[in-house]
Amino acid sequence: EKAGYDHFMLKEIYEQPKAYRDTMMGRIAEDGRSIQLSELGMTQEQVKEIRRIHIVACGTAYHAGLVGKSVIEQLARIPVETDVASEYRYRNPIITPDTLVIVVSQSGETADTLAALREARRCGARVLAITNVVGSSVAREADAVLTTWAGPEIAVASTKAYSSQLIAFYLVGLYLAQELGTRDEAAIAEVASALLALPEQVESLLAQADALKAIAEKLARHNSLFFIGRGLDFAVAQEGSLKLKEISYIHSEAYPAGELKHGTLALIEEGTPAIALVTQEELAEKTLSNIKEMKARGAHVLAVTNESNLQEVAKSVDEQFAIPNTLPILTPALSVVPLQLVAYYASLALGHDVDKPRNLAKSVTVE
């Protein structure tokens, strides 16, 4: 059942190219110039009535929602808030009939996410579910369902479900942009073609997994580290930090790169490891100066960057790992892969039960 892999998690990491292809299939038009999402069940008029979007989810799905916020805001220019379901449902959020609520859940059974969905519907909002399980509770109760076709995810630590949720958000963002006219056909086609290139790019990343194994084995000797990034890189940093915590039990914190100097820099000492994501061309220079601040205090920095930035970034860090070049908005779908592998290999090096980490359950049906 593990198809020759040592663990379900590794198998699922390697299934990501297929998960991306399956999730895009039939949703990007044959000519690559438009997005077809009849699953949303919304007329163009109804799309134009959306005034705000709330993305609600837990854990890893919440982290996908952080990327979703940025993607939808950039492409469709609709204001988006992303919240964790166990906060959202109790904070009396402002939900109106012109709010689109997007709940994200791999299992479709998470109690707090389901409760948030019910609250949103009670307030008259339209609810779109992004889920990996057809016929799940979330899928049954939502107004519309966008299924991620990642296939069954067995490992407790979510990998291919998260990255397929990113693909779903790219499709939703592009679709809204197309219906609202915030992006023209050429711009949609440009993103669509870059999306279609992602599966092969993930394959090329996976072929370099060995380089990450050595890095992860060194990290596994430490008991705390930092993940930093700006913008979309910060969203992915949060997911990388969670992945490492849950299966390696190594403490880590994800920080917006520019925020360190407001307190956290005090924790950096000789040898403190840090993983810096530097994939956003426009923000690279700023993040590099934050990396220098950390290194001046003794930090040991691994940078995950894109090929075109590699030479520049390599000058300022101790180790680097390059992801293939893509559009800035799409980098999360690539940069998360090395972070998943680092978590996997760190857990393995420490001899933990990778697929069944202590204290955690795959489906969280308690509040």
CA 189-311-227 angle, 5° bins: 80
The residue type found at 357 is P
Indicate whether 157 belongs to the interface with ligand F6R (CB under 6 A): yes
In terms of CB distance, is 56 or 257 closer to ligand F6R? Answer: 56
Indicate whether 248 belongs to the interface with ligand F6R (CB under 6 A): no
Q: What ranges make up the beta strands (E) of the chain?
A: 52-57, 80-84, 99-105, 126-131, 144-147, 224-229, 251-256, 273-278, 300-306, 319-323
Distance, CA of 232 to CA of 326 (rounded, Å): 14
Distance, CA of 344 to CA of 336 (rounded, Å): 12
Distance, CA of 113 to CA of 151 (rounded, Å): 21
Maximum CA extent, the chain: 58
User: Min. distance of Cβ 179 from ligand F6R in angstroms?
Assistant: 27
Q: Of the candidates 107, 290, 305, 331, which one interacts with ligand F6R according to CB under 6 A?
A: 107
Residue with tokens 């790169």: 257
User: Min. distance of Cβ 35 from ligand F6R in angstroms?
Assistant: 24
Residue 285, class by beta-carbon neighbours within 10 Å (0-12 exposed, 13-18 middle, 19+ buried)?
Answer: exposed
Residue with tokens 């449902």: 89
In terms of CB distance, is 113 or 279 closer to ligand F6R? Answer: 113
The residue type found at 26 is G
Q: Of the candidates 20, 56, 59, 168, which one interacts with ligand F6R according to CB under 6 A?
A: 59
**Window 275-314: contact mask with ligand F6R (x via CB under 6 A):** ----------------------------------------
**Window 345-364: contact mask with ligand F6R (x via CB under 6 A):** ------------------xx
Active site residue 292: no
Residue nearest to ligand F6R (CB): 59
Both structure tokens of 255: 């920080």
User: Min. distance of Cβ 106 from ligand F6R in angstroms?
Assistant: 3
Indicate whether 164 belongs to the interface with ligand F6R (CB under 6 A): no
Q: Of the candidates 246, 252, 256, 299, which one interacts with ligand F6R according to CB under 6 A?
A: 246
Q: Which span (9-17, 107-115, 267-275, 333-341) binds ligand F6R, by CB under 6 A?
A: 107-115
Q: List all residues 6 or more positions away from 236 whose beta carbon is below 8 Å from its beta carbon.
A: 63, 67, 229, 277, 331, 332, 335, 336, 339
Indicate whether 16 belongs to the interface with ligand F6R (CB under 6 A): no
Q: Which span (8-16, 38-46, 104-112, 192-200) binds ligand F6R, by CB under 6 A?
A: 104-112
Q: Of the candidates 70, 105, 290, 331, which one interacts with ligand F6R according to CB under 6 A?
A: 105
In terms of CB distance, is 60 or 248 closer to ligand F6R? Answer: 60
Q: Of the candidates 23, 86, 106, 331, which one interacts with ligand F6R according to CB under 6 A?
A: 106
Distance, CA of 68 to CA of 61 (rounded, Å): 10
Q: Of the candidates 110, 137, 164, 316, which one interacts with ligand F6R according to CB under 6 A?
A: 110
Distances in Å between the Cα of 46 and the Cα atoms of 49, 167, 205 are 5, 23, 40
User: Min. distance of Cβ 138 from ligand F6R in angstroms?
Assistant: 8
Residues paired with residue 304 on neighbouring β-strands, in sequence order:
277, 321
Distance, CA of 86 to CA of 93 (rounded, Å): 12
Q: Of the candidates 10, 19, 42, 60, which one interacts with ligand F6R according to CB under 6 A?
A: 60
Q: Of the candidates 70, 99, 113, 326, which one interacts with ligand F6R according to CB under 6 A?
A: 113
Indicate whether 83 belongs to the interface with ligand F6R (CB under 6 A): no
Residues paired with residue 28 on neighbouring β-strands, in sequence order:
35
Catalytic hit among 213, 218, 286, 362: 362
| Contacting positions for ligand F6R (CB under 6 A) | 58-61, 105-107, 110, 113, 157-158, 246, 363-364
Catalytic residue ranges: 362
